[in-house]
Amino acid sequence: MESGLLVQLENIEVCQEENVVLNDASLTLDKGEFIYIIGKVGSGKSSLLKALYCEVPIRKGNAYVAGYDLLKIKRREMPYLRRKLGIVFQDFQLLTDRSAVKNLEFVLKATGWNSQNEINRRIEEVMEQVGMPNKGYKMPHELSGGEQQRIAIARALLNTPEIILADEPTGNLDPETSGQIVQLLHDIRRKGTAVIMTTHNYNIVQSFPARVAKCESNRLYNMEESSSPDFKEIEYE
């Protein structure tokens, strides 16, 4: 893996069960970079992210993520890879029976944090970072969709990941709230954490420019930055 690259995929094949979802796909991601993965529903965007954290298999090619060779990684190594990745889902996936703070505390304790003072300090830091310093006591059902997604992003940041993988993070949000969430992800990127975000929302990609790759017909196409004139000519749904 080349120095400075967090993700280096070369001619990989991604499969769901026995079906090939992406074939001959290549992608790189540098430290502190933001990239959108765009494409229609069912085009392989989510499968690509799942492949990066070993949820679905890569059958061939070369695949390195955060220093791990995904074709040779052992099952006991996967939790260590996943600690270098922060994952944000479309449907938030918060534990509904506990407050926002307790959701975050659960993750820290599950990943080996023992000192309650350090746990409290880290939770305070990430809640501040996502603009939710005073909402920690609330239950998920007491929060708006945008607020729940901010807590989910805070959860993804807890262990200081090298990469945030955001899978359609605005899919359940209104346009204004979607823009706020994407702005937050760009702010996180500016502080040094790389971000890969899947989306089929063309307006977001144009409003918050970054590098773009497109899933289409079982292939992954690397494209220009979404602020370039050529990008406006893309057929996009």
Instruction: Tell me what pLDDT residue 3 has.
Output: 59
Cβ–Cβ under 8 Å, residues 14 and 21: yes
Give me the tens of pLDDT residue by residue for the chain, a chain 237 residues long. 565 789 999 999 998 888 889 999 999 999 999 999 999 888 889 999 999 999 999 989 999 999 999 999 999 999 999 999 999 998 888 999 999 999 999 999 999 999 999 999 999 999 999 999 999 999 999 999 999 999 999 999 999 999 999 999 998 899 999 999 999 999 999 999 999 999 988 899 999 999 999 999 889 998 866 665 455 544 444
Which contacts of 54-59 are long-range, i.e. CB under 8 A and separated by 24 or more positions? 54/78, 54/81, 54/82, 56/14, 56/15, 56/16, 56/21, 57/14, 57/15, 58/12, 58/13, 58/14, 59/12, 59/13, 59/14, 59/15
Residue 171 is encoded by which pair of tokens?
């899919």
* Alpha carbon distances (Å) from 211 to 195, 208, 224, 228: 11, 10, 6, 10
pLDDT for residue 18: 81
* Contact between 138 and 154 (Cβ < 8 Å): no
Distance, in Å, from the CA atom of 64 to the CA atom of 7, rounded to the nearest integer, reads 6
Q: What DSSP line would sit under 170-199, residue for residue?
A: TTTS-HHHHHHHHHHHHHHHHTT-EEEEEE
| Structure confidence at residue 225 (pLDDT) | 67
Strand order in the sheet with 163-167: 85-88, 163-167, 194-199, 34-38, 211-216, 219-222
Which candidate, 156, 81, 164, places its Cα nearest to that of 122?
A: 156
Contact (CB, 8 A) for 157 and 188: yes
Beta bridge partners of 163: 85, 194
Query: Tell me, what's the pLDDT at 1?
Result: 53
Tell me what pLDDT residue 229 has.
47
Asked if 217 contacts 184 with a C-beta cutoff of 8 angstroms, the reply is no
- The strand order across the sheet containing 58-65 reads 19-30, 5-16, 58-65, 68-69
Helix 116-129 vs helix 145-157: crossing angle, to nearest 10? 130
**Which amino acid, residue 94?**
L
Phi-psi region of 151 (alpha: psi -120 to 50; beta: other; left: phi over 0): alpha
192: left (phi over 0), alpha (psi -120 to 50) or beta: left
